[in-house]
Amino acid sequence: MNEPTDESLILRCKAGDGEAYTALSERYRPGLVRFNAYIIGDHDEAENLAQEALARAYDQIGQFRVGQSFGAWLRGFGLNLCRNFLRSRKRRAKPTSPEVLTPEPDPEGRKHGVLSGIMRGELHDRLWLAVSQLPLGYREALVLHYIDGLDYNEISEITGATAGALRVRSLRARQLLRSSLGNVVDSWLLQPDEEGMKDEE
C-alpha cells in the first residue's frame, strides 16, 4: 500500500483528522530535531523545541497553503523557537554529539547536498564542530541549504532574509569552514547553483 502524500494528509488535517497529523509528525520530526540541534547545539533541547514546533504548526494548519513544502513550513516554526531559545540562553550549550545528527532520508525525495553525505564520513566530528562555531545567520543558511536541501527562495520565506543575502551567507560560511578545515571544503560544499559565484568571494 502506498504511503499517503503530504497533500492528502494536510487536507485531512484541515478537516480535523488528528491521526493524519500524527503521520505527518512522524514523517518530519527526525529532520526537524536534527535541524534544531544544528542551530542550537543541544540535542535534548532540540527534541523539546521540535515537539513545540509541531504543536504550533498543528494549531495553524489552517494557514498552510497546499502546494507549499510542509517540511520548509515546519522549519519556520522550528527556527523561530531556536532563535528565541538562543536569545534567552546566557551561556553556550554543550555541543551535541555529532552521531545523533546523521541526516535522515528526505521524505519529499529531495536530494541532499554534498555536505550531508560528508556528515556520514570520517570527518563528521570535525565538520560538526566547525559548523557549530559559525555565526548564527551563516549557520542557518548553511544548514537549510546544504543539509536540508532547501533552495534560497524557500529559505528566504523561513528566515526573512533575501535570497541574495542568503547566498552570500552560504558563501561566507563556506569560507569560514575552509579556514578551519582547508580547501577540501570547496569540493564538499560546491553545488551547481553556486558555481558561477566564485568571483564574488
Q: How confident is the model at residue 6 (pLDDT cuts 50, 70, 90)?
A: very high
CATH number of 1-106, picked from 3.30.565.10, 1.10.1740.10, 3.40.50.1820, 2.160.20.10: 1.10.1740.10
User: Alpha-carbon distance 192 to 136, whole Å?
Assistant: 24
- Residue written as grid cell 518530519: 28
Query: Which residue, 4, 27, 38, is CA-closest to 140?
Result: 38
Least confident of 51-55, 76-80, 89-93, 142-146: 89-93
CB 129 within 8 A of CB 16: no
User: Alpha-carbon distance 79 to 40, whole Å?
Assistant: 10
- Residue written as grid cell 532520508: 105
pLDDT at 198 exceeding the cut of 50: no
For domain 111-192, give the CATH number. 1.10.10.10
- For the whole model, what pTM was predicted? 0.76
- Residue written as grid cell 524557500: 154
User: Alpha-carbon distance 65 to 198, whole Å?
Assistant: 36
> Which residues of the chain form CATH 1.10.1740.10?
1-106
pLDDT at 173 exceeding the cut of 80: yes
> Which residues of the chain form CATH 1.10.10.10?
111-192
HSE-CB at 141 with a 13 A cutoff on CA atoms is 23
